[in-house]
Structure 1
Amino acid sequence: MSEFLSTYGFLIVTLLQAGLLGLSLYFPLQAGQLSLASPGFYALGGYAAAILLTNPAFAGLRDALGNAMFPLTWLVAAVLAGLLGLVVGVPALRLRGIYLALATIAFVEILRVLALNLQITGGAIGIFGIPQAFGFQDRWQYIFLFGPLLALTLLFARQVERSRVGRAFRAVREDELAADAMGVPPTRYKVLAFVIGAVLAGIVGAMSAPFLNTWNAKQGTFDFSIAILAFVLIGGSRNIWGPVVGGALLTGLPEWLRFLTDWRLVINGLVLVVASLYLPQGIVGALQRLRRPPPPQRPAPVQRAEVQP
């Protein structure tokens, strides 16, 4: 077992991380918002953790708290991401569709350029030598951080779906004007979904900084935004398991096909094309349709025999 975890532990943690980032995009989509801002909040959370764990200004705090410093970085990242999500979400979520997507892409690029030019973030080089969380000796041990976080996030998402908030999300997604007419304020719930996704992405970033041992501006890019969106669309955007399945498939497939060298990237692209064409509801959506019983057939109308005079 230890040999298996030593070999595949890094990949397992990466799959868990991909599922969490997919879920961070899933929440805004539940309210009908095509947001691509998750990598920006992910990068923000990582920088917050990296600075708190390496900057000499916080050496006294690190010595005083010990391992409790790591949960503190998660809390700080969550608060910063939530506040920034609120500041960005209130004006940006007045936009819809492709305009909102472009606005969130611009937000990600602004954060990336700031990270490249600020001294506290290490500029283009980034921050190195981030200590391992709780003194972990092997990367696979991060399963004990990302695994529970994924389980709690899925449980939270399930509870939200069944609550009044979840019903409001669906109402806004299906018809914003009708929801507003029924007393459901669209802006409030769109901002709430956006902030929930931002907080989750920030926490994942704070956990990922020690896992990767380094953090730089490459962690939050436009390409990464498209990758996370693909996790949700391929897995399915109408079920909480969709982002997890899509993230695991698109992250793990290139590794599982590594023996094919350069052809593995071609196969990965073919999976994206085929799934987009033939699985419009995603993999999980297609499986749900297969499990549904066929609709009951109406009995054929009985034809009355004509009486001959």
Structure 2
Amino acid sequence: MGDFLAQYGFLIVTMVQAGLLGLSLYFPLQAGQLSLASPGFYAVGGYVAAILLTNPAFAGLRESLGNGLFPLTWLAAALICGLLGLVVGIPALRLRGIYLALATIAFVEILRVVSLNLGVTGGAIGIFGIPQAFGFQDRWQYIWLFGPLLILTLLFARQLERSRVGRAFRAIREDELAADAMGVPPTRYKVLAFVIGAVLAGIVGAMSAPFLNTWNAKQGTFDASIAILAFVLIGGSRNIWGPVVGGALLTAVPELLRFLADWRLVINGLVLVVASLYLPQGIVGALERLRRTRPPRRPETAALPGVKGGTP
């Protein structure tokens, strides 16, 4: 078991991390919003944690709190990303479709350029030597952070779907004008979904900074936006398990096929193309459709007295 975790522990944690980032995009999609801003909030959360854990200005806080500083970084990242999501979401979410996607991509690029030119973020070099959370010795131990966060996020998403807010999200996604006519304020609920996704991405970033031991502007890029969108689309955007399955699959395939060198990227691209063509509802959506269309089992008739094999 120890050898398995030593070899594949980093990959397993990365798969869970990818699922969480997919879920951060899933929440705005629940309200019908194609937002690609998750990498930006992920980068901000990581920078918050990296600065608090390495900057000399916070040396006294680190000494006084010890390991208690790590939960504080998660809370700080959640608050900052939530406020930033509110500030960005109120004007941006008045846009729809491809225009919203372009606006959120611009937001990610603005954050990337700003981080490249700030001294506190380490500029283009970034921040190095981020201490390991809770003194972890091996990377696989981060499953004790990302795993519970994934479980809590899935439980929260399930309860949200069953709540009045979840029903409002679905109404807006299906027909925004009809939802507005029925008294559901679209802007309020779209901003709420956007902020929930921002908070989750920020917390994941704050946990990921110690996990990666370094943080720089490459963490929040346009490429990352497309990758996270692929997690959701390949896994399925109408089920909470879709982003988790898509993130795990698209993270694992290139690593497990590393022995094929550059051909592994070709295979990863083929997976994306095939899934896009033949699984429009994603992997989880296809499995659900298969389960619903399976013919019901024929009930067995009770055997009559004196007759073998059931029906005479």
Q: TM-score if structure 1 supplies the norm length? A: 0.95
Q: What percentage of aligned pairs have identical amino acids?
A: 89
- How does 1:128-139 map onto structure 2 within 5 Å? 128-139=128-139
- One-letter amino acid matched to 1:62: R
Q: Give the distance between the partners of 1:87 and 1:171, measured in 2 at CA.
A: 24
Name the SS for the 1:183 alignment partner.
Answer: coil
Q: Is 1:62 paired with 2:62?
A: yes
Which residue of structure 1 aligns with residue 239 of structure 2? Answer: 239
What residue in structure 1 maps to residue 273 of structure 2? 273
Separation in 2, partners of 1:124, 1:258: 29
Gap runs ≥5 in structure 1: 297-309
Shift of 1:257: 1.1
The one-letter code matched in structure 2 to 1:143 is I
Counterpart in 1 of 2:91? Answer: 91
1:65 maps to a residue whose letter is L
Q: Map 1:163-182; keep pairs closer than 5 Å.
A: 163-182=163-182
Q: Give 1:293 deviation, angstroms.
A: 3.9
Residue number in structure 2 paired with 1:162? 162
* Secondary structure in 1 matching 2:238: coil
Residue 211 of structure 1 aligns to a residue whose secondary structure is helix
1:75 aligned counterpart, secondary structure? helix
| 1:245-283 alpha-carbon deviations (Å, 9 max, x no partner) | 000110000011112111111010011001001100000
Deviations 1:124-168 (A, max 9, x none): 000000000000011010000000000000000000001111000
- Which residue of 1 is the match for residue 28 of structure 2? 28
Are 2:259 and 1:259 equivalent residues in the alignment?
yes
Name the SS of the counterpart of 1:118 in structure 2. coil
Instruction: Write the deviation string for residues 86-105 of structure 1: whole angstroms up to 9, x where unpaired.
Output: 00000000000000000000
- Can you list the C-alpha shifts for 1:178-201, whole angstroms capped at 9, x where unaligned? 000101000000000000000000
CA deviation digits over 1:218-269, x for unaligned, max 9? Answer: 0000000000000000000000000000001100000111121111110100
Q: Relative to structure 1, is the Cα distance of residues 53 and 98 closer, same or farther in structure 2, using a 3 angstrom cutoff?
A: same
Gaps spanning 5+ residues in structure 2: where?
297-312
- For 1:79, the equivalent position in structure 2 comes to 79
In 1, Cα distance between equivalents of 2:133 and 2:3: 21
| One-letter code aligned to 1:154 | L
1:299 paired residue number: none
- Across the two proteins, how many residue pairs are aligned to each other? 296
How far off is 1:295 after superposition? 8.1
- After TM superposition, give the deviation of residue 207 of structure 1 in Å: 0.1
Where in structure 1 do 4 or more consecutive aligned residues deviate above 6 Å? none
Supply the distance in 2 between the matched residues of 1:37 and 1:206 (Cα, whole angstroms): 16
Matches within 5 A, 1:179-258: 179-258=179-258
